[in-house]
Amino acid sequence: MPEQLGKIERLEADRFKQGKKLYLVPLVYSTEEAPDEYKEKCRSYWQQVTEQLTNLASKIGRVNRVYHESIFQSGEDGMKTMKRLNPSSYQIAQTQCDSDATFEKVEEEELFEEVMDWQRCLMVGFMSDKVASKVSEFYAEATKKRNEFIAKKISETLKENEAGLLFIREEHSVQFPSDIEVFSIFPPALDEIHRWYRDQARLRTEKLTEESKEKTKREAEEVKKKTRKRTKGAPKG
């Protein structure tokens, strides 16, 4: 049975060696100020990404092109920007570029900035439903144009039988061309990061709920005290 399964895996891998391939890696960010627990989960994530990418590339094709959202330059200039933006994805990209991969830009600066500006507007909130609806439309339109640009750049630069590596947000909505086979890299550590975020959100909610209860209790006590004072100070009939 193991030999048969191994043969099937080899046949599948041989099939994917032909044509355009895209290895998709969800972006995870960390900072020096982040909790140690979170930073450790991020380190595990990127280590697992490296391992899965190495395994994938050895089976169906090494990386020829590297792409990273939010970066507007190609080549060395783009790599320098990536190093500042996300050192973890940079390390993986640098390893691929050291093995003759090329870093290609995948963003148009004006489009990216337009999407970010509309997104900031949405985060502020609005008093008018009409304005909120209009801003949502502008954001959706700009996002669609940006996604189309990303897909077009990858399609133009990724040659036949090549493999590309794309670092992009997990919740992206880019529709890739039908002639590109997409392989998503989702290590187990990504689930751990999601769980950590959910736990933190739950703890914040519980804390806010407890604080609200304490505040309500204090306010009720204050009302009782004031009521007792007024009762004591009232003239007896």
Cα–Cα distance for residue pair 192/54, rounded to 1 Å: 22
Q: How many residues does the chain have?
A: 237
Please give the C-alpha separations between residue 124 and each of 115, 118, 132, 171, 203, in angstroms, as whole numbers. Answer: 15, 10, 10, 21, 25
If one compares 31 and 207, the residue with the highest pLDDT of the two is 31
What does the pLDDT average to over 35-39? 95
Q: What is the pLDDT of residue 39?
A: 95
pLDDT at 94 over 50: yes
Q: Is 100 left (phi over 0), alpha (psi -120 to 50) or beta?
A: left
Q: What is the pLDDT of residue 218?
A: 74
What does the pLDDT average to over 163-192? 95
Helices (H), the chain: 2-16, 36-60, 75-85, 87-98, 109-124, 129-157, 188-233
Q: What is the pLDDT of residue 5?
A: 37
Q: What is the pLDDT of residue 229?
A: 66
Token code pair at residue 237: 């009939």
In sequence order, the 6+-apart residues with CB closer than 8 A to the CB of 26 are: 168, 169, 170, 184, 185, 186, 190
Q: What is the pLDDT of residues 131-146, one digit of tens each?
A: 999 999 999 999 999 9
CA Rg value for the chain: 26
Percent of residues, the chain, with pLDDT higher than 70: 86
pLDDT at 119 over 70: yes
Confidence of residue 167 (pLDDT cuts 50, 70, 90): very high
Cα–Cα distance for residue pair 28/86, rounded to 1 Å: 9
Give just the sign of the alpha carbon dihedral 187, 192, 198, 201. Answer: negative
Q: What is the pLDDT of residue 10?
A: 59
Domain ranges in the chain?
A: 18-196
Confidence of residue 71 (pLDDT cuts 50, 70, 90): very high
Judge residue 207's burial from the number of C-beta atoms within 10 Å of its C-beta, 0-12 exposed, 13-18 middle, 19 or more buried.
exposed
Please give the C-alpha separations between residue 23 and each of 29, 56, 129, in angstroms, as whole numbers. Answer: 19, 9, 41
Confidence of residue 201 (pLDDT cuts 50, 70, 90): confident
Q: What is the pLDDT of residue 210?
A: 72
Q: What is the pLDDT of residue 21?
A: 96
Token code pair at residue 38: 């979170």
The pTM of this model reads 0.81
In sequence order, the 6+-apart residues with CB closer than 8 A to the CB of 91 are: 46
Q: What is the pLDDT of residues 76-93, one digit of tens each?
A: 999 999 999 999 999 999
Please give the C-alpha separations between residue 103 and each of 122, 155, 160, in angstroms, as whole numbers. Answer: 33, 14, 17
Confidence of residue 16 (pLDDT cuts 50, 70, 90): confident
pLDDT at 8 over 60: no
